[in-house]
């Protein structure tokens, strides 16, 4: 029997969604009436088909059982954690790179005064968390030693973690441990917890919320002809297996976020398929995070209309992802994206 995957689709947003939920013509996502759906796509590695939610009852018994099990996770209410309000879509993870070589803002904020100012600006502009990193993981970059990474972030981290909620972007268990002791509320490890074998033990000991991020290879080689049998389903299976692993190692809490890793070992086709079908990951039962801000897919799609900050492409993709129920967006230009989201919500609810 093939493996079946459930992707919710045909979303409604705002007042229209609330009206349809009230009339029982759509199902709210995670009990948030502001966003709902009335179709699902049933996917295998050889086929896919869309059906309306009122056709589920006519499916073969075993398939109906599988779909209803997925829908139970999709409908379940999410509990808030790490200063994330999961009753609101989207939450914003503001990006603060304290590095000399990050892909779009390397060296801009790695001095104490500029770093603190930017952290406060991002938070005051509407970010729920500020994601601080001291090691670039752009394509082609190489790892840095623990002490160098810590020296880049420690002074600013010690000061801002007392004032605003912080997420720590690191692959190293020692950095995680030091950050958690300073009050870091979320660990964002782009390696999918694979880079450092001690990572899971640290997360288990401190019961810290974390992101499971998908990447293929290491930053120094991840963009060298990445390939998948089916990127969407391969990454889904990766998440499913990783969740089983961390459960087997004693991490039982549900304060976990899934990030498919746009641009991390993916080409344009892979990235577009992931973004377009992002709602498949709702059936895993955890909040979804997407880092779409300033990514190279915007350059490739916009061609001659590319720009340094890529705010237009970030805004367009952010609205699409929001309309697919993505709970968290990782964003550099928080004020501008919040502006767009607020205007969009006002228009759609007018």
Judgement on whether residues 129 and 177 belong to the same structural domain of the protein: yes
Residue 109 has what pLDDT? 65
- Span 192-242, pLDDT tens digits: 999 999 999 999 999 999 999 999 877 777 788 889 999 999 999 999 999
Q: What angle do CA 224, 170, 151 make, to 5 degrees?
A: 115
**Given strand 210-213, what is the order of strands in its sheet?**
256-259, 210-213, 186-189, 166-169, 129-133, 91-97, 328-331, 289-290
Kindly state whether residue 86 falls inside one of the protein's structural domains: no
Kindly state whether residue 136 falls inside one of the protein's structural domains: yes
Kindly state whether residue 81 falls inside one of the protein's structural domains: no
Judgement on whether residues 108 and 215 belong to the same structural domain of the protein: yes
Kindly state whether residue 100 falls inside one of the protein's structural domains: yes
Is the predicted pLDDT of residue 107 greater than 60, yes or no?
no
Specify the range with the lowest mean pLDDT, choosing from 37-51, 135-149, 171-185. 135-149
Question: What is the distance between the terminal CA atoms of the chain, rounded to a whole angstrom?
Answer: 48
Element (H, E) at 167: strand 166-169
CATH of residue 336: 3.20.20.20
Q: What angle do CA 303, 319, 75 make, to 5 degrees?
A: 135
Judgement on whether residues 70 and 120 belong to the same structural domain of the protein: no
Residue 53 belongs to what domain range? 5-75
Contact indicator for 174, 147 with CB cutoff of 8 Å = no
Q: What is the DSSP string of 261-328?
A: -TTSS--HHHHHHHHHTGGGGGGGTS-BEE--TT-HHHHHHHGGG--SS-HHHHHHHHHHHHHTT--E
Kindly state whether residue 85 falls inside one of the protein's structural domains: no
Kindly state whether residue 259 falls inside one of the protein's structural domains: yes
Judgement on whether residues 67 and 97 belong to the same structural domain of the protein: no
Judgement on whether residues 145 and 12 belong to the same structural domain of the protein: no
Is the predicted pLDDT of residue 13 greater than 60, yes or no?
yes
Kindly state whether residue 80 falls inside one of the protein's structural domains: no
Domain boundary among 19, 46, 75: 75
Mean pLDDT of 97-112: 65
Judgement on whether residues 316 and 262 belong to the same structural domain of the protein: yes
Judgement on whether residues 144 and 268 belong to the same structural domain of the protein: yes
Kindly state whether residue 323 falls inside one of the protein's structural domains: yes
Q: Taking the CA of residue 6 as centre, how many other CA atoms within 13 Å lie in the half-sphere pointing to its CB?
A: 26
Judgement on whether residues 215 and 312 belong to the same structural domain of the protein: yes
Give the length of the chain: 350
Question: In total, how many domains does the chain have?
Answer: 2
Instruction: For residue 35, give the nearest of 8, 10, 12, 9 by alpha carbon.
Output: 12
Mean pLDDT taken over the chain: 94
Judgement on whether residues 137 and 262 belong to the same structural domain of the protein: yes
Judgement on whether residues 295 and 172 belong to the same structural domain of the protein: yes
- Give yes or no for a cis peptide into 90 (omega within 30° of 0): yes
Q: Which positions are catalytic?
A: 295, 330
């Amino acid at each position: 029997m093939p493996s079946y995957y459930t992707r919710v689709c045909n979303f409604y947003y705002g007042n229209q969604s609330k009206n349809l939920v009230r009339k029982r013509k759509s199902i709210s996502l995670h009990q948030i009436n502001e966003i709902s759906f009335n179709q699902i796509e049933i996917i295998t590695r050889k086929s896919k088909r869309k059906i309306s939610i009122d056709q589920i009852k006519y499916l073969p018994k075993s398939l109906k059982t599988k779909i209803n099990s997925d829908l139970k996770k999709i409908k379940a209410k999410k509990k808030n954690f790490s200063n994330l309000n999961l009753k609101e879509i989207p939450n914003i993870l503001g990006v603060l790179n304290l590095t000399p070589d990050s892909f779009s803002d390397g060296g801009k904020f790695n001095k104490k005064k500029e770093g603190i100012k930017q952290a406060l600006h991002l938070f005051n502009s509407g970010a729920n968390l500020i994601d601080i990193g001291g090691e670039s993981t752009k394509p082609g970059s190489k790892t840095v030693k623990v002490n160098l990474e810590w020296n880049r972030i420690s002074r600013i981290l010690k000061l801002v973690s007392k004032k605003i909620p912080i997420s720590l972007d690191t692959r190293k268990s020692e950095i995680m441990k030091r950050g958690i002791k300073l009050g870091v509320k979320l660990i964002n490890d782009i390696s999918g917890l694979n880079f450092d074998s001690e990572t899971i033990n640290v997360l288990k000991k401190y019961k810290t919320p974390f992101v499971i991020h998908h990447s293929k290879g290491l930053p120094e080689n991840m963009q060298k002809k990445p390939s998948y049998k089916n990127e969407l389903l391969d990454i889904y299976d990766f998440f499913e297996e990783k969740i089983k692993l961390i459960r087997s190692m004693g991490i039982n809490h549900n304060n976990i976020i899934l990030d498919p890793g746009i641009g991390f070992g993916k080409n344009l086709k892979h990235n577009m398929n992931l973004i377009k079908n992002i709602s498949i990951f709702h059936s895993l039962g955890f909040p979804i995070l997407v880092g779409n801000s300033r990514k190279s897919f915007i350059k490739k799609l916009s061609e001659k209309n590319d720009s340094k900050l890529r705010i237009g492409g970030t805004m367009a993709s952010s609205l699409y992802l929001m309309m697919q129920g993505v709970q968290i967006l990782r964003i550099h230009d928080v004020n501008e994206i919040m502006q767009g989201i607020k205007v969009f919500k006002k228009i759609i609810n007018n």
